[in-house]
Amino acid sequence: MSASRRKGRPGTLPRPFAVLFALALAGATAVAITLLPARATLQLTVPSPAPPSPAPSPAPAPAPLLGRSTYVGFVDTAADPGFDLPADARRTGVRWYALGHLVAGPDGCTSRWAGRLDFGHDPVANRIGRLRAVGADAGLIFGGPDGGEPAATCTRPGALAAAYRRVVGAFDAGYIDFDLRTKSADHTATAVRRARAIRAMQQERRLRVSFTLPLRPYGLATRDLDTLRLTREAGADVGAVNLLADIEPHGAPEGRMQRIAVALHAARTQLARVYDLADPDHAWGRLALTCVLKDRDDLSETDARKLAAFADRYGLAWLSARGVDPGPGVTRILWRMPDRTIGFPGEGRLLIR
């Protein structure tokens, strides 16, 4: 080999040093970007990450987690007993609904809609069969803002599992949610009872489970994280955490959507710790977001586009809305999110990276 080949061309670095210099420059650029000050006009969506540097041998791909986002329609069956599930599915294209709220009856070990109507006598829930005939489905919500779910009042484990089993079997439900906003006096005992009953049902049938919890500015409250840990330790499989986010009115200080993004990022990190995920980004697919509106104008079409883009970018389990119905334009944007089956661990077709 000639001397010119060994030394390289004049004015250029030898190849090994050039590669190291390029990698160092890329790293320094990334650090500089993270140190840039946040601005009040930040969008809810974030830029796509830079392509990763080539590695000598690629790391194994993470196991599939959840399918990407869809929209879930929430129905308060007691407040809207005339709601026609199959007609709404045909009109909107929505393929998943969540029906609430099943709370403890007078004896503490039965479930009733809004605590007063027997679970077999609800006109909305009784349309689930017709809903499935048009290619859609509905899950059932235990608990809620106005009453506890049976785990808080039914202290006999066998009776609690039987109470859940009766409702799930009556509707042949493949998906149930536990809305845990109402706190019980004995938090730990309630969480363990619920988890054991869920585990018993999941050993008997294919049953997907989610927990609905409030989203705080810092993510999830310590008590709610304890509930998730206790549930996991008891062997129950909770595939997703549905976060209820109160949407600030448009008169609030600028950055409403950005504050939601910050809270979601915090919840992602917390959930990754609860589930011992090596990469916190793998927790995105276990998070769903439900917007709670006090006024229909609180969520604009621009806000809805940001939320939909964020959910699809990070692969959130689903989006939904509660409270006052948003405007028609907003609902159309949310309804037209990618129509994919709700995913749970082991069922997702796309990798969360």
CATH number for the domain that contains residue 135: 3.20.20.80
Residue 322 lies in a domain: no
Identify whether 101 is preceded by a cis peptide bond (ω within 30 of 0). yes
| pLDDT values of the chain reduced to their tens digit, one per residue, 353 residues | 433 333 344 444 344 434 333 434 444 443 333 333 333 333 444 334 434 433 333 323 333 322 346 899 999 999 999 999 999 999 999 999 999 999 999 999 999 999 888 888 999 999 999 999 999 999 999 999 887 899 999 998 899 999 999 999 999 999 999 999 988 889 999 999 999 999 999 999 999 999 999 999 999 999 999 999 999 999 999 999 999 999 999 899 999 999 999 999 999 999 999 999 999 999 999 999 999 999 999 999 999 999 999 999 999 999 999 999 999 999 999 988 654 444 443 343 222 22
Residue 313 lies in a domain: no
Domain assignment of residue 119, given as a range: 72-241+248-287
Q: Looking at the DSSP assignment, which residues form a beta bridge with residue 75?
A: 99
Residue 28 lies in a domain: no
Residue 63 lies in a domain: no
Residue 53 lies in a domain: no
Number of domains within the chain: 1
Residue 22 lies in a domain: no
CA separation for the pair 275, 225 (Å, rounded) = 11
Query: Other C-beta atoms within 10 Å of 145: how many?
Result: 13
DSSP letter for each residue of 289-351: EEEEESSGGGS-HHHHHHHHHHHHHHT-S-EEEEESPPPHHHHHHHHTS---PPP-TTT-SS-
Strands 96-104, 111-113: pairing is: antiparallel
Alpha-carbon 100 to chain mean position: 17
Residue 99 lies in a domain: yes
Residue 78 lies in a domain: yes
CA separation for the pair 13, 1 (Å, rounded) = 18
- CB of 98 closer than 8 Å to CB of 138: yes
Q: Looking at the DSSP assignment, which residues form a beta bridge with residue 102?
A: 113, 142
